[in-house]
Amino acid sequence: MKRWIAFAAAGSALACATLAVAASAAATDAHRHGGIAVDDSALPVGPPGLAEPMLTIPGGVPADRKTKEDEGAFRLLCNYGKMSYDDPIVYPGQPGRAHLHTFFGNNSITAATTPANIRAPGSKSGCRGGDVNLSGYWVPSMVDTASRKPIVPKYIVVYYKTGTGPWMRDWHQANKPLVMQPMPQGLVMIAGDASNANPDKAEAAFSCFTDAPGAGHRAMGSSIPACKPTEMVRMRIDFPQCWDGKNLDSPDHRSHMAKPMEWHADPDGQWDPSHPFKCPSTHPVLLPLLSEIIDWPVLLGQDTARWRLSSDTYDAALPGGYSAHADWMNGWDEEIKTIWTRECMQKQRDCGSFNVGDGRGAIEFQGN
């Protein structure tokens, strides 16, 4: 089966004609699934994940920070899980309504998943550490338009960091630092904009990356780059880290969150070079900065100029990737989340990708 979805470019006669053809075959597909034709006859499925915690016995704790500017960080690797046309945040309870998404983390997520049931017994996680982290991480799928095949990513690396936290201060108390709080239970949020077609407003950064020793990645940009075989197309996207302190979601799934703002004056109006950032007064609660990095391998014979995200509904003559976005639904075990927030974030320690902060290591899965 192939899902044909029209390229939609505002004011384009070609787009209108294509939409008309799509509508005659399936009146709702163009609206539901965006602008990419996907051969989904056999959507690839990843490892099933585990429904048990995967933590080592307590060992050494992370080293204390050396300077005030040290960034606290906790990161983990998650296997690719699955692809589906579900989006339990944007289209809750409506299976098949969204454009094609690639899921990581909680592999049991469906359109019926909610913050209340995301940690349901038996749910399986593809992340390092097992079901201590049943959070859902999903992004629009990468599609090779030459073959109409979706591209399977190698993995996702998820970072939780202090971000600009060390340079923040409370709005009303000049000498009081803004203390980072744990991600609240039930929180969902979206970074980026699935309807964006403007490179200046794109929120993700793309690059060509290789994990060969000393290679690293080439310069980042707002669109999918021309990468060579043996390289990977890398996408990075950061979520806002200031919360309004009240709402776990909002109608647009963004307004309850905000990015830190530059602020170069203390409460009495004096310039304060030591605390140049603050959370907006409407969003005063500082949370860990969630950052996601996804790598898609480039195989021999593939041309990444033909790659687009499933949400790229704009003019096909423009580069792909401007519509990059990411969804997140909190599914952390409360005890573990509190530990890494306190030990890694609040104490500004680099906990790496093994230590949850108290000496226990999150085990990476092998072959599951």
**pLDDT score recorded for residue 363:** 82
Answer yes or no: is pLDDT of 267 > 70.
no
Least confident of 161-170, 212-221, 241-250: 212-221
- Selection from 332, 137, 163 nearest residue 260 by Cα: 163
pTM of the model: 0.86
Task: Give residue-wise pLDDT tens across range 53-87.
Answer: 999 888 888 888 877 678 899 999 999 999 999 99
Query: For residue 200, what is the DSSP state?
Result: G
Say what percent of the chain tops pLDDT 90.
66
Answer yes or no: is pLDDT of 134 > 80.
yes
Rounded distance between C-alpha atoms, residue 86 and residue 138, angstroms: 10
Average pLDDT score over residue span 312-325: 94
Residue 190's Cβ-side half-sphere holds a number of Cα atoms within 13 Å equal to 20
Average pLDDT score over residue span 308-334: 96
Band (32; pLDDT cuts 50, 70, 90): very low
SS (H, E, C) 205-274: EEEEEECCCCCEECCCECCCCCCCCCCEEEEEEECCCEECCCCCCCCCCCCCEECCEECCECCCCCECCC
- Selection from 259, 92, 251, 248 nearest residue 185 by Cα: 248
Band (27; pLDDT cuts 50, 70, 90): very low
Least confident of 72-81, 130-139, 163-172, 265-274: 265-274
Neighbours of 149 (CB within 10 A): 18
The DSSP line for 111-169 is: TT--TTTTT-TT--B-BTTBTTB--EEEEEPEEETTTTEEPPPSEEEEEEE-TTGGGBB
3-state secondary structure of 22: helix
Segments making up each domain of the chain, as ranges = 1-33, 47-346
Neighbours of 194 (CB within 10 A): 20
Neighbours of 109 (CB within 10 A): 26
Answer yes or no: is pLDDT of 111 > 90.
yes
Query: For residue 338, what is the DSSP state?
Result: H
3-state secondary structure of 201: helix
What one-letter code names the amino acid at 87?
D
- Selection from 87, 39, 312 nearest residue 196 by Cα: 312
**pLDDT score recorded for residue 165:** 73
- Selection from 8, 100, 323 nearest residue 193 by Cα: 323
The DSSP line for 69-109 is: TPPPEEEEEE-EEEEES--TTTSTT-TT-SSPEEEEEBTT-
Answer yes or no: is pLDDT of 22 > 60.
no
Neighbours of 323 (CB within 10 A): 25
Average pLDDT score over residue span 26-43: 63
Band (25; pLDDT cuts 50, 70, 90): very low
For the chain, what is the mean pLDDT?
84
Sequence-distant (≥ 6) Cβ neighbours of residue 60 within 8 angstroms: 355, 359
Average pLDDT score over residue span 326-342: 97
Instruction: Please report where in the chains the tokens 């209108």 appear, as a residue.
Output: 16
Six-digit token pair at 148?
């109409």
Average pLDDT score over residue span 330-335: 97
Sequence-distant (≥ 6) Cβ neighbours of residue 14 within 8 angstroms: 7
Band (323; pLDDT cuts 50, 70, 90): very high
Band (270; pLDDT cuts 50, 70, 90): low
- Selection from 177, 188, 163, 176 nearest residue 288 by Cα: 163
Q: How far is CA 345 from the centre of its chain?
A: 19
What one-letter code names the amino acid at 13?
A
3-state secondary structure of 336: helix
Six-digit token pair at 239?
């979520």
Answer yes or no: is pLDDT of 124 > 90.
yes
Band (281; pLDDT cuts 50, 70, 90): confident
Rounded distance between C-alpha atoms, residue 4 and residue 194, angstroms: 19
**pLDDT score recorded for residue 287:** 96
Instruction: Please report where in the chains the tokens 């310069």 appear, as a residue.
Output: 219
